[in-house]
Amino acid sequence: MWGGKPGRNMASESEKGLPAGYALGVDTDNDTVNLATTKNIKWVARVGGKTFGSPVVSQGRVFLGTTGVPSTNATILCLDERTGRELGRFICRRPPGRGENWGVCSTPTIEGDRLYVVTPYVEALCVDLNSWLNAPTAASGAGSDQHVVWRYDMADKLQSVVDHAASCSVLVHGDMVYVCTGNGRYKNKKQPFSPLAPSYVAFNKRTGQLVARDDEQLGEQTWRGQWSSPSLAVVKGHPQILFAGGNSICYAFEPVDSAAPVAPDRWVTNALRGPIVSFIDVENKDTAGLTPAEYARQFNLLANMPKPALPLEFRFSNRIAQVTPVDAVPAAKVPDVPLLKKIWWFDCLPPEYRNAPFYSHQCKGDGQPHPCDIVSTPVFYRNRVYVAIGGDPNHGLQNSRGYLVCIDPTQTGDITRSGKVWSYDQLNATLTTMAIADGLVFVIAENSVVHCLDADTGQSYWSYELKSDRGLLSSALVVADGKVFVGKSVLAADKTLKVLCTLDAKTTTSSSTPCVANSALYIVHGKWLWAIYDKGEMKP
């Protein structure tokens, strides 16, 4: 699975023997590889032009979500772990008029002979690996649908609306598959908006039946989208399902009771509890240091509105997407299934950020603290939960401030104050999930700066700008064998900053998170997946 274990910590404590450096041998045009000039490369395989999924290794195979080669089909590649030879490709068919060409952004989760993935088109899939990889047409991707055990179309059945693409990497725990639907607002105002659609759901892993959902009504509180994935914490022997939302709140839910009866395909009408979030478009405007509420009063925005049916909460935005009318209480049909039971919740966005003066992208101002959501995934490590914030860069300047919190998950209820162990605000907003090893936290922010912190206290040991990856907003990292593999650099996983290697390669670093397995590092650079292995002078 993505992160190797359910806690989603992007670090491995067992992998050893990884090289401190490697060379890619990529020609300038980034379309060919000269194997004679590579170093510590086990094999290399061509992937799609857009690769936002991350490699995962299982049963001698490497799986990767990408686009097609050379097509733009959303594709899952399956490669031989030892040689890199393609074993098959699964094509996620695109429903008419749905989604953008980002490829498969979800990292598959494999359990036995089943593969679970979320397509970019808001569908949860279970694929039979034996059927897929033993089929005579597997390599071409033809007829991929015949290998689907079950499919749940969250856009059609739940009315979930996703901006860009769905990217959740599902969590399989017990008999359940936990999924973030990604529901939010699409940037095109003509697209529907579903403020009451569930954000978090659970399916029976064998049948695909929906068995539980949340009732947090995050759609109304979310500006653009939700791209975080669920993770698992085991606190005092009791499991907790962690979800981080587009409203900047991290939730812990009880696992679903697989014995609880659920009647299929029943629906109930639900109404918005409020408040209605009224967005103020400040594109090309200076907010003059006012909070959204102050701005609304000063410019008398209520005078131009009909009488609100529910209390209003004003927020700034950049280019208003679909919004809720203020003069009626929204209602919608939602699945009549048990609700996920909350254990605790923690607001990861400080009040001074949520209510700060906001300057939208390309506008006047410093673009510092501003409202944003959570894209990274909560990490569980030594009885603590770690979360960092950072939303769509178009909702603020690229140097907008971030925030990282360490949470005590042993409490219940609203633990925003009581559950904070420590916080760190000396980083920019971040989209990527943390790696924690030997008591050290490693995280990279949108400005391509890596930070090293003490996991127990939040003390900062060092920060390092990846100049070769400058401007890349979503570089990802992994820690293994005492090394931090991030972008084109290899750093020492130590309290003292040590740069072990910087690649001299004219490739673009992918948003894909590297993966380590069986003494090899799998990382996407440019249009290639590289298997990096300490082979000395041996050539691939």
With 50 as the cut, is the pLDDT of residue 393 above it?
A: yes
More confident residue, 87 or 510: 87
| Structure-block tokens of residue 366 | 């410093």
Higher pLDDT, 142 or 247: 247
Helices within 16-164 (DSSP H only)? 129-133, 154-157
| pLDDT tens-place string over residues 34-47 | 888 888 999 999 99
pLDDT, residue 535, reads: 75
The confidence score (pLDDT) of residue 363 equals 45
- The bridge status of strand 499-502 relative to strand 61-67 is unpaired
- Band (pLDDT 50/70/90 cuts) for residue 439 is very high
Give pLDDT, residue 424: 96
CB atoms within 10 A of CB 394: 14
Third-level CATH fold of 11-256+288-317+340-532: Methylamine Dehydrogenase; Chain H (2.130.10)
What do you get for the CA distance between the two ends of the chain, in Å?
27
Share of the chain above pLDDT 90, in %: 61
Sequence-distant (6+) residues with CB within 8 A of 118 are 106, 124, 125, 166, 167, 168, 169, 170, 179, 182
Percentage, residues of the chain above pLDDT 70: 90
Which of residues 419 and 394 earns the better pLDDT score?
419
pTM of the model: 0.94
How high is the pLDDT of residue 366?
A: 42
Distance of CA 123 to the CA centre of its chain: 16
Two structure tokens written together for 337: 């299934």
Q: Tens digit of pLDDT for each residue in 156-180? A: 999 999 888 899 999 999 999 999 9
Q: Determine the 3-state secondary structure of 45 from DSSP.
A: strand
Q: How far apart are CA 525 and CA 533, in angstroms?
A: 15
pLDDT at residue 362, as a whole number: 46
d(CA 497, CA 491): 7
- The neighbouring-strand residues paired with 443 are 451
The answer to whether residue 451 scores a pLDDT higher than 60 is yes
Per-residue pLDDT, 42: 92
Per the model's pLDDT, the better-predicted residue between 201 and 94 turns out to be 201
Question: How confident is the model over 307-357, as pLDDT tens digits?
Answer: 999 999 988 877 777 788 899 999 999 999 999 999 999 999 888 777 666
Bond before 70 cis per omega within 30 degrees: yes
Region of poorest pLDDT, from 276-280, 412-416, 449-453? 276-280
Using DSSP, state whether 36 is helix, strand or coil: helix
Task: Flag whether pLDDT at 60 surpasses 80.
Answer: yes
Q: Give one DSSP letter per residue of 148-164, joined into a string.
A: EEEEEEHHHHS----SS
Annotated domain spans of the chain: 11-256+288-317+340-532
Give the pLDDT mean for 107-123: 96
Model pLDDT, residue 302: 87
User: What is the model's pLDDT at position 316?
Assistant: 80
pLDDT confidence tier of residue 11, bands split at 50, 70 and 90: very high
pLDDT at 470: 53
Asked if pLDDT for residue 132 goes beyond 70, the answer is yes
When comparing pLDDT for 13 and 467, which is higher?
13
Q: Cα separation of 386 and 422, whole Å?
A: 10
> What is the average pLDDT score of the chain?
88
R_g of the chain, CA atoms, integer Å: 23
pLDDT surpassing 80 at residue 520? yes
